[in-house]
A and B are shown apart, each in its own frame.
Chain A
Amino acid sequence: MTVPNLVGAGLIVIGAGIGLGKIGGSAMEGIARQPEATGKIQTAMIIIAALLEGLAFGALFLGK
C-alpha cells in the first residue's frame, strides 16, 4: 500500500464514520421519541447503514 492509498482509505473511513454516526444518532433520537417504532427504525437504519457500507467498501477496494 502506498501513501496516497492509505490517505484515501483514511478519508473513506472518515466519511463512512460520519455517515454511520449520523445514521445511528438519528435512529437513536427517533427511537427515543417513538419507542413503539423501534423495529421499523432499526430495519431502516440497518438498510441505510448497509448501503453506506457497500459504498465505503467499494471505494476501499477500488483503491486497493
Chain B
Amino acid sequence: MEQLLNDFSPGLFVMQTLIMLVLIFIMAKYAWKPIMNSVEKREEGIKDALEAAEAAKKEMQNVTADSEKLLREAKVERDALLKEAREIKESIIAEAKEQAQVEGDKVIKQAQATIEAEKKAAVADIKSQVANLSVEIAEKVIKEELSNKDKQLKLVDDMLGDIKLN
C-alpha cells in the first residue's frame, strides 16, 4: 500500500484526467457520434431493405398464387367451352342427320309416289292404246271382212303378228 501511494504521481493523475476529458469530448463529438449515427442508420436501412424484400417476396407469392388461380380458372372455362362446343357440334350433326333422313325419306316417298303415278299413267295409256288398237284392228278387220274373207283373216294374223305388247 505504501509503495502504491509512493508510486502515485498526482501530476500524472491530473494530466491523465485532463487528457481523458478532452479526448472523451473530442472523440464523442467528432468520431463516436457520427460513427454511431451512420452505423445505426445503415442498420436501420438494412432492416428496412430486408423487410421490403420480405414484403416483395410475399407479394410475389400472392401474385403467383393469383395467376395460378387465374390459369386454373381459365383452363376450367376452356374445358367447359370445349365441351359445350363438342356437344353443340354433336347435336348439330345429329340434327342434320335426322333432317337429312327426313328429307331423304320425303324425297324417296315423293319419287315412289311419282313412279306410282307414272306407272299408273303408263298403264292407263297402254290400256287406252290397246283399246284404240283393238278398236282400229277391229275397224280394219271389219273393213276387210267387208271385202274378202280370206284377206280379213290374213290381216288379223298380220296385225297380231306386228303388234307387240310393250
Q: CB within 8 Å of A: which of B130-144? A: none
**Residue interface mask A24-62, B partner, CB < 8 A = 1:** 000000000000000000000000000000000000011
B3 beta carbon closer than 8 Å to chain A: yes
Size band of the B side of the interface? under 10
| A58 CB, min distance to chain B CBs, angstroms | 10
- Give me the interface of A with B, judged by CB distance under 8 Å: 61-64
Q: Which residue of chain A lies nearest to B2 when distances are taken between CB atoms in the complex?
A: A64
A64–B2 Cα gap in the complex (Å)? Answer: 7
Given contact pairs A61-B1, A64-B3, A64-B4, a sample of 5 additional A-B residue pairs in the complex whose CB atoms are under 8 Å apart: A61-B4, A62-B1, A63-B1, A64-B1, A64-B2
Binding site of A, secondary structure by majority: helix, strand, loop or mixed? helix
* Interface contact tally, CB-CB below 8 A: 8
Q: Which residue of chain B lies nearest to A61 when distances are taken between CB atoms in the complex?
A: B4
Chain A residues with CB under 8 A of B3: 64
Chain B residues with CB under 8 A of A63: 1
Q: CB within 8 Å of A: which of B1-46? A: 1-4
A43–B89 Cα gap in the complex (Å)? Answer: 83
Q: Which residue of chain B lies nearest to A63 when distances are taken between CB atoms in the complex?
A: B1
A61–B1 Cα gap in the complex (Å)? Answer: 5
Q: Which residue of chain B lies nearest to A62 when distances are taken between CB atoms in the complex?
A: B1
